[in-house]
Amino acid sequence: MSADEARIELLIDVFDLAAQRALALGTLTPPQLVAAVLEEFSELEFLGNNRADYVLLKAADQAALDESAPIGDQLAKGDRLILAERVPTLPNGTSAPSRPVYLREQASGKVFQLHWQPAIIGRPDQDHEHNARLAVNLADHPGGQRVSRRQAQIGESGGMFFIEPLSSNPTIVRDGQGQNFPAQSRQPLRHGDVVYLENSQIALKFIVREPGAHQ
């Protein structure tokens, strides 16, 4: 059997990029196909590189593929799939943001999906409630030990996003014009702003995914 015969022609909705044609090996498992899709569409700033954050659904019935079985056993030529984010159970006392929002660590390209708000930026500690709300865990970053456990949090009010400091460790908002605004209290946060953690020199770009916008 040739390589072409071993492949399945599929259509994949990659968020607002609908019906993207793919020729995928039938021996791939869904997580392997997810990894290939993330690599192919890495120019989308809101896409991360952790395949465990995503799931493939059948467009016909929204059913998730069996992740342990090859796609060749589950799909036929022309089938349409949807790449979707896994949405965890929201921690107590939080709510989902009105629009999909993310922080992208500028040096590594790692993307943190903010599925709830308020979303804490920092590191884990012994407080279970704090850890549950920790949406941006920087403990493994090379400069992470200089990040406060409760560095700052991102919230939403009236459809507008803001960042609020939780420690004396400086947090700065850098806007699209390169101007810096120390977050001494609630500071407005807009798409494209960069949250800069001064002591650790970590820069996190704030991304709002608007329907129909390819970012």
Task: Please tell me the distance from the alpha carbon of residue 42 to that of residue 62, in angstroms, as a whole number.
Answer: 24
Helix, strand, coil proportions of the chain in percent (round to 5)? Answer: 10, 40, 50
Is the previous residue joined to 118 through a cis bond, with omega within 30 degrees of 0? yes
**pLDDT at residue 133 greater than cutoff 90:** yes
Tell me the pLDDT tens digit for each residue of 76-126.
Answer: 999 999 999 999 999 999 999 999 999 999 999 999 999 999 999 999 999
- Nearest 10 degrees: CA dihedral of 140, 141, 145, 151? -100
Q: What are the angstrom distances between the C-alpha of 175 and each of 35, 139, 196?
A: 32, 26, 10
User: Are 189 and 162 contacting, i.e. CB atoms less than 8 angstroms apart?
Assistant: yes
Dihedral sign for Cα 130, 156, 188, 190, please: positive
**pLDDT at residue 13 greater than cutoff 70:** yes
User: Are 206 and 193 contacting, i.e. CB atoms less than 8 angstroms apart?
Assistant: yes
Ranges for all domains in the chain classified under CATH 2.60.200.20: 101-208
The H or E element spanning position 19 is: strand 17-25
Evaluate if pTM is beyond 0.75. yes
- Report CA Rg, the chain: 19
Task: Say what the pLDDT of residue 1 is.
Answer: 37
Tell me the pLDDT tens digit for each residue of 46-63.
Answer: 999 999 999 999 999 999
pLDDT confidence tier of residue 183, bands split at 50, 70 and 90? confident
Ranges for all domains in the chain classified under CATH 3.10.20.90: 7-85
Task: Please tell me the distance from the alpha carbon of residue 121 to that of residue 66, in angstroms, as a whole number.
Answer: 33
The topology under which CATH files domain 7-85 is Ubiquitin-like (UB roll) (3.10.20)
The pLDDT of 65-81, averaged and rounded, is 97
List all residues 6 or more positions away from 140 whose beta carbon is below 8 Å from its beta carbon: none
Task: Say what the pLDDT of residue 44 is.
Answer: 95
The topology under which CATH files domain 101-208 is Tumour Suppressor Smad4 (2.60.200)
Task: Please tell me the distance from the alpha carbon of residue 16 to that of residue 211, in angstroms, as a whole number.
Answer: 7
